[in-house]
Protein backbone atom coordinates (compact mmCIF):
# COMPACT_ATOMS: atom_id res chain seq x y z
CA UNK A 1 0.00 0.00 0.00
CA UNK A 2 3.01 2.30 0.26
CA UNK A 3 2.70 3.17 -3.45
CA UNK A 4 -0.82 4.48 -2.79
CA UNK A 5 0.08 6.53 0.28
CA UNK A 6 0.03 9.79 -1.71
CA UNK A 7 -3.75 9.28 -2.19
CA UNK A 8 -4.50 8.83 1.51
CA UNK A 9 -6.98 11.43 2.82
CA UNK A 10 -7.03 13.15 -0.60
CA UNK A 11 -10.72 12.70 -1.43
CA UNK A 12 -9.89 9.81 -3.80
CA UNK A 13 -12.39 7.33 -5.20
CA UNK A 14 -11.61 3.62 -5.48
CA UNK A 15 -13.60 1.82 -8.19
CA UNK A 16 -14.11 -1.93 -7.95
CA UNK A 17 -15.12 -4.60 -10.42
CA UNK A 18 -16.70 -7.92 -9.38
CA UNK A 19 -15.00 -11.32 -9.41
CA UNK A 20 -12.40 -10.61 -6.75
CA UNK A 21 -11.89 -6.88 -7.14
CA UNK A 22 -14.53 -5.75 -4.67
CA UNK A 23 -12.80 -7.09 -1.57
CA UNK A 24 -9.44 -5.64 -2.59
CA UNK A 25 -10.94 -2.26 -3.54
CA UNK A 26 -12.94 -2.07 -0.31
CA UNK A 27 -9.86 -2.65 1.84
CA UNK A 28 -7.87 -0.19 -0.28
CA UNK A 29 -10.56 2.48 0.10
CA UNK A 30 -10.67 1.88 3.83
CA UNK A 31 -6.89 2.22 4.10
CA UNK A 32 -6.87 5.41 2.01
CA UNK A 33 -9.92 6.90 3.74
CA UNK A 34 -11.34 7.18 0.22
CA UNK A 35 -14.71 6.80 -1.44
CA UNK A 36 -15.70 3.41 -2.80
CA UNK A 37 -17.95 2.38 -5.68
CA UNK A 38 -18.60 -0.74 -7.74
CA UNK A 39 -18.65 -0.82 -11.54
CA UNK A 40 -20.74 -3.53 -13.12
CA UNK A 41 -19.72 -4.61 -16.61
CA UNK A 42 -20.14 -7.74 -18.66
CA UNK A 43 -17.14 -9.14 -20.49
CA UNK A 44 -17.44 -9.75 -24.21
CA UNK A 45 -15.72 -13.15 -24.47
CA UNK A 46 -14.01 -14.62 -27.48
CA UNK A 47 -16.29 -17.39 -28.83
CA UNK A 48 -13.56 -20.03 -28.61
CA UNK A 49 -12.04 -18.80 -25.31
CA UNK A 50 -14.67 -17.50 -22.86
CA UNK A 51 -12.03 -16.67 -20.24
CA UNK A 52 -10.49 -14.04 -22.53
CA UNK A 53 -12.36 -10.89 -23.47
CA UNK A 54 -12.23 -8.49 -26.38
CA UNK A 55 -14.40 -5.80 -24.79
CA UNK A 56 -17.14 -5.09 -22.27
CA UNK A 57 -20.67 -3.78 -21.90
CA UNK A 58 -21.22 -1.30 -19.06
CA UNK A 59 -24.25 -1.39 -16.78
CA UNK A 60 -25.75 1.53 -18.74
CA UNK A 61 -25.48 -0.44 -22.00
CA UNK A 62 -22.47 1.34 -23.46
CA UNK A 63 -20.05 -0.97 -25.22
CA UNK A 64 -16.25 -0.91 -25.39
CA UNK A 65 -14.42 -3.09 -27.90
CA UNK A 66 -10.64 -3.18 -28.27
CA UNK A 67 -9.78 -1.35 -31.51
CA UNK A 68 -7.82 -4.18 -33.11
CA UNK A 69 -10.28 -6.99 -32.35
CA UNK A 70 -11.26 -7.27 -36.02
CA UNK A 71 -7.84 -8.84 -36.61
CA UNK A 72 -9.14 -11.91 -34.74
CA UNK A 73 -12.92 -11.82 -35.09
CA UNK A 74 -15.30 -10.98 -37.91
CA UNK A 75 -17.69 -8.06 -37.53
CA UNK A 76 -20.51 -10.61 -37.43
CA UNK A 77 -18.92 -12.49 -34.49
CA UNK A 78 -18.41 -9.22 -32.61
CA UNK A 79 -22.03 -8.19 -33.17
CA UNK A 80 -23.28 -11.64 -32.11
CA UNK A 81 -21.31 -11.51 -28.85
CA UNK A 82 -22.48 -7.96 -28.12
CA UNK A 83 -26.07 -9.01 -28.69
CA UNK A 84 -25.80 -12.18 -26.60
CA UNK A 85 -24.13 -10.45 -23.65
CA UNK A 86 -26.50 -7.48 -23.82
CA UNK A 87 -29.48 -9.81 -23.44
CA UNK A 88 -28.07 -11.63 -20.37
17-30 as b/e, with b when 16 or more CB fall inside 10 Å? eeeeeeeebeebbe
The candidate with the shortest Cα–Cα distance to 69, out of 38, 45, 33, is 45
- Structure letter (DSSP) for residue 48: T
Q: Are residues 49 and 21 in the same domain?
A: no
Structural domain span for residue 82: 41-87
Q: Are residues 31 and 50 in the same domain?
A: no
Per-residue pLDDT of the chain (88 residues; tens, 9 = 90+): 789 999 999 999 999 988 889 999 999 999 999 999 998 888 888 888 889 888 888 888 888 888 888 888 888 887 877 776 655 5
Do residues 78 and 56 make contact, with C-beta atoms less than 8 angstroms apart?
no
Number of domains observed in the structure of the chain: 2
pTM of the entire predicted model:
0.62
CATH value at residue 70: 3.30.1310.20
Q: Are residues 23 and 61 in the same domain?
A: no
Q: Are residues 71 and 49 in the same domain?
A: yes
Amino acid sequence: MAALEKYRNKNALVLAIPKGGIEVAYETAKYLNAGFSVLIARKLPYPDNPEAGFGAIAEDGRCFVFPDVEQWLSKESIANQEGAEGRN
